[in-house]
Amino acid sequence: MPRTALITGTSGGLGQAIAVALAREGYDLALTDLDVATLKETLAHPDIKQRKVVTAPLDLRSRESINAAFSDSRARLGDIDLLVNNAGRALLKPSISVTDADWDDVMNINLKGAFFLSQLLARSCIEGKRPGCIVSIASTHGMTGIGDRLVYGISKAGLIQMTRMLAIEWADKNIRVNAVAPATVMTASREKLLSDPAARTRMLSRIPIGRFVTPEEVAAAVVYLASPGAAAVTGHTLPVDGGVTVI
């Protein structure tokens, strides 16, 4: 029986890499993004085209959108076995300039939305007496300190603590909850932002292995945490960071 995964934020970059990696592992997929029209490139990937795939619009700031995306995906794909909370909003801004709107937007997308999707997955698994798995994409910014990323870092630290708390609460329900904490992931959009050699050198200087993380490396960590080989792993945040968090 095919396994099923719902992944948030899959129009490109890291979300697309996770979707491709899970498709290769035999998962049928529910792909979500704010605008499903942006999923065209992901849907065209040869490995994605080999699986049963449904799409759903998802605004993580809206409970109505969260409920609709989950229920619609489940109705068309079947019970969801794996939830990957990948979508997120970054914010590079001095703390002294952060506004109410900045705070609410980042927290709602990165933390609140991830929690309520996780809640829906857990409810469906508990009601159906089925095992479940949740993997959230956190960040090294939730584990270490750095300037101008306060709100983003707090949201990711919250996601890491949420992972611990839910893992304990749902362990006896056979629902595993883990997270992956990447350092800077080199996506196409990030490549454009780092076109300035000085900025690139500065960021690389923080990574002991001397290079950026690839989307495929993060996706491989998600695949592992969702696999039978990680059956005894829950409540864990796995850094994929080139050594950033051990400095």
* Segments making up each domain of the chain, as ranges: 3-246
Does residue 22 contact residue 2 with C-beta atoms inside 8 Å? Answer: no
Give the full edge-to-edge strand order of the sheet including 237-240: 53-57, 27-33, 3-8, 82-85, 132-137, 175-182, 237-240
- Pairing verdict, β 27-33 and 53-57: parallel
Domain 3-246 in CATH 3.40.50.720 = yes
Q: Is 55 helix (H, G, I), strand (E, B) or coil?
A: strand
The pLDDT, as a whole number, for residue 198 is 86
Could you tell me the end-to-end alpha-carbon distance of the chain, in angstroms, rounded to an integer? Answer: 44
Instruction: Give the ranges where the chain is alpha helix by DSSP (H).
Output: 13-24, 40-43, 63-77, 100-107, 113-128, 150-170, 188-193, 197-204, 215-226
Residues forming the active site: 152
Q: What is the pLDDT of residue 193?
A: 67
Q: How far apart are CA 43 and CA 20, in angstroms?
A: 10
- The pLDDT score that the predictor gives to residue 162 is 98
Q: What is the pLDDT of residue 1?
A: 60
Per-residue pLDDT of the chain (247 residues; tens, 9 = 90+): 669 999 999 998 999 999 999 999 999 999 999 999 999 999 999 999 999 999 999 999 999 999 999 999 999 999 999 999 999 999 999 999 999 999 999 999 999 999 999 999 999 999 999 999 999 999 999 999 998 999 999 999 999 999 999 999 999 999 999 999 999 898 877 777 677 888 888 889 999 999 999 999 999 999 999 999 999 999 999 999 999 999 8
